Structure 1
Amino acid sequence: MSGNRNRPARAIVFAYHDVGVRCLRVLLDAGVEVPLVVTHADAPGETIWFRSVAAVAAEHGLHCVTPADPHDPALLVAARAAEPDFLFSFYYRQMLKRDWLALPRRGAFNMHGSLLPRYRGRAPVNWAVIHGERETGATLHRMNEKPDNGAIVDQCAVPILRDDTASEVFGKVTVAAEIVLARSLPALLDGTAVERPQDLSQGRYFGGRKPEDGRIPGDAGARQIHDLVRALAPPYPPAFLRLQGQTVFITRTLPAPAPAGAPGSGLRLLREGDSLWLIAADGSALRVLAAQRDGSAEPLTARNFDGIFRGRWVPADA
């Protein structure tokens, strides 16, 4: 272990996505030495709409690796030789085990995209929007072997407007993460940071989401459907329903009073004049501002509705 107390603090960084980019830049701006950056190779078939941690590392001449397994013994040996003071994880997608967490002299810390202890686990921004939350944020916390479980260093809240998409909220959370790290880092570096344990009873874990989880429930009300649509709006796999055997993606909606005398019952799509409407089973309604059939490059609109479906309104397939 190095005895040079005058050298700059040294941190190994696990990072991905926009949060990873901004937080890595915060560390570099503060003069923290980063001998190793661990990130992900972009997955084939995934829509890459976010910035590249590997590109930022290359710009700054940092050693950057993309291991399939971050627990490769050779990588741990190299990391240990760097004698890091800290380890930071900024939206890295794999859980780090005890060997990594015990390696840095002054601790391992993670940036999570929620106001912990709420929305621990995967896809926290999407889940917060799905549940109609009016705020979320970013939390810097100490890492232990249970995900999103350790003591909180700092957190910053951001508002969720009623029509915000998850992508828009994620942009706010990225800024919140940068604020949290920038204002917490001086105290972490000088050893004066105060950590507080989480009250885990005030939140719960959420799992990852798959494209098929985006099917709009037949018994959901308009507000619940609207929250699902905006939580899954592009660049995420969008919310959808099946109509006369066809998959229709609903990517933008707006709550509004239902047209007078809206026909039919149950969840249904309705053409009314120049507008499309999604009518929930309870009669509440959404104006459909953007929709598309699977396999078609042409948006689904009121103008082409009659040429695609039989009738002015179409019930959702069971």
Structure 2
Amino acid sequence: MKILYFGDADWGAAALRELVRRGHDLLGVVLRKNPTDGELEATARQLDLPIFQPQRCNDPEFLATIRSLSPELNLSVSYDQILRPPILETAPLGFVNFHAGMLPWYRGRSVINWAIINGETQIGLTAHFVDEGIDTGDIILQKSLPVTWTDTYAEVMERMIASFPGLVVDTVELLASGHFDRRPQAHLPGSYFPQRGPGDEWIDWNDTSSNIYNKIRGITTPGPGARTFLDGQPMILWRASYDLSWPKYQATPGQVVGIESSGVRVKTGDSTLILNLVELPEDSQGPRLPRFKIGTRFGINLHEHILQLQQQILELRCIEKTS
């Protein structure tokens, strides 16, 4: 089958290699305007495939290029431009996208992070036709992968990257056979998630241990890591541990209440969790086992902060009166 391939990143590269290995005719690779890394481009060059990188994929010049190639099917694996007609009509079999979420749930961006943050026990991969909505097209195939209580972002990502090529090839071969079902999802409400960005990584110690634990493991490496404050300076939280059976009680959230061989135990809004690996600002040691005194407090003491601001305002007013 003649395929034009739109994509990015390591899972895009892995699926491309598998398609070529299985004998499909790749007409070329369309890169993002700003690729997340160079792996897909390097793979395309190794395979001696034409490379395209349009600023806008719906530009007339690029549409003319697609039509000259005459693809039977267009594929999207981690491509970031919103696809609209007429590009959706440039291949007889349509445009198929591969989404790292079990549609109709987890439409949108950064869904691996959000699935872990939400404490999901499984995560989906979906092959679906692209329509004029966002992740709303008819479903072709889906695959479910487990997410354990201790899995981190890196571990779930690795599992998904390993599974993506198989889903891509199975979908292409199903479409080539002509015997496939289209499962509409337009009538389903689903859920939408934005791209995770700066500001999402801060920990609120008044939240539950479960929520904080999921957030830490959901944005750890290769993500930016969760953040808290220590003495007014940001600190990265790379790894934590929590057991649902630990007792729940009231105390000061964000305060170290115990020192253990695996790290420090910190009070949360309902229970405790253990910080196992942290990184202090400008620390040449990099990530390390935390060793803080009992009573050390993380985060911002809002009451104290407000009092300091009020004092600063009073001092400024006094300066104005005397000037």
| Cα distance change on mapping 1:144 and 1:255 into 2, 3 Å | same
Correspondence for 1:33? 25
The residue matched to 1:265 in structure 2 has which SS?
coil
In 1, the alpha carbon distance for the partners of 2:244 and 2:164 equals 38
If you compute each CA radius of gyration, which structure gives the higher value, 1 or 2? Answer: 2
Instruction: Pick from 192, 197, 200 the counterpart of residue 205 of structure 1.
Output: 192
Give the alignment of 1:258-269 within 5 angstroms: 265-269=252-256
> Which whole-Å deviations, capped at 9, do the CAs of 1:222-247 have from their partners, x for residues lacking one?
11111000110011111111222111
> Which whole-Å deviations, capped at 9, do the CAs of 1:54-99 have from their partners, x for residues lacking one?
1111111000123333333322211111111111000112212212
Give the alignment of 1:1-318 within 5 angstroms: 9-40=1-32, 48=37, 52-198=39-185, 201=188, 203-256=190-243, 265-270=252-257, 272=259, 274=261, 275-282=263-270, 284-298=271-285, 299=287, 301-303=289-291, 305=292, 312-317=295-300, 318=302
In 1, the alpha carbon distance for the partners of 2:119 and 2:150 equals 10
> Do the aligned partners of 1:139 and 1:152 also contact (CA within 8 Å) in 2?
yes
Q: TM-score, normalised by structure 2?
A: 0.85
In 1, the alpha carbon distance for the partners of 2:53 and 2:134 equals 22
Over the residues paired in the alignment, what is the CA RMSD in angstroms? Answer: 2.5
Paired letter, 1:69: R
In 2, the alpha carbon distance for the partners of 1:198 and 1:155 equals 13
In 1, the alpha carbon distance for the partners of 2:165 and 2:277 equals 33
The residue matched to 1:95 in structure 2 has which SS?
coil
| Cα distance change on mapping 1:312 and 1:231 into 2, 3 Å | same
> Do the aligned partners of 1:258 and 1:286 also contact (CA within 8 Å) in 2?
no
In 1, the alpha carbon distance for the partners of 2:255 and 2:94 equals 54
| Cα distance change on mapping 1:257 and 1:82 into 2, 3 Å | closer
Paired letter, 2:9: H
> Which whole-Å deviations, capped at 9, do the CAs of 1:152-206 have from their partners, x for residues lacking one?
1101100001011122112222233222222232221122221111265362111
> Do the aligned partners of 1:128 and 1:136 also contact (CA within 8 Å) in 2?
yes
In 2, the alpha carbon distance for the partners of 1:121 and 1:238 equals 21
> Which whole-Å deviations, capped at 9, do the CAs of 1:107-129 have from their partners, x for residues lacking one?
11000001111100101111110
C-alpha displacement at 1:142, in angstroms?
Answer: 0.4
In 2, the alpha carbon distance for the partners of 1:292 and 1:169 equals 23
Paired letter, 1:13: Y
Counting matched residue pairs gives 299
The residue matched to 1:157 in structure 2 has which SS?
strand
C-alpha displacement at 1:212, in angstroms?
Answer: 1.4
User: Between the two proteins, what is the percent identity of the paired residues?
Assistant: 26
Paired letter, 2:299: A
The residue matched to 1:189 in structure 2 has which SS?
helix
C-alpha displacement at 1:271, in angstroms?
Answer: 5.4
Paired letter, 2:28: L
In 1, the alpha carbon distance for the partners of 2:215 and 2:273 equals 12
Paired letter, 2:52: V
Paired letter, 2:296: W
In 1, the alpha carbon distance for the partners of 2:150 and 2:260 equals 24
The residue matched to 1:289 in structure 2 has which SS?
strand
| Cα distance change on mapping 1:259 and 1:133 into 2, 3 Å | closer
In 1, the alpha carbon distance for the partners of 2:246 and 2:214 equals 21
| Cα distance change on mapping 1:259 and 1:196 into 2, 3 Å | closer
In 1, the alpha carbon distance for the partners of 2:133 and 2:184 equals 13
In 2, the alpha carbon distance for the partners of 1:33 and 1:196 equals 27
> Do the aligned partners of 1:270 and 1:279 also contact (CA within 8 Å) in 2?
yes
> Do the aligned partners of 1:139 and 1:177 also contact (CA within 8 Å) in 2?
no
In 2, the alpha carbon distance for the partners of 1:257 and 1:83 equals 56
> Do the aligned partners of 2:108 and 2:135 also contact (CA within 8 Å) in 1?
yes
> Do the aligned partners of 2:228 and 2:298 also contact (CA within 8 Å) in 1?
no
Q: Show structure 1 runs of 5+ residues with no match.
A: 1-8
The residue matched to 2:200 in structure 1 has which SS?
helix
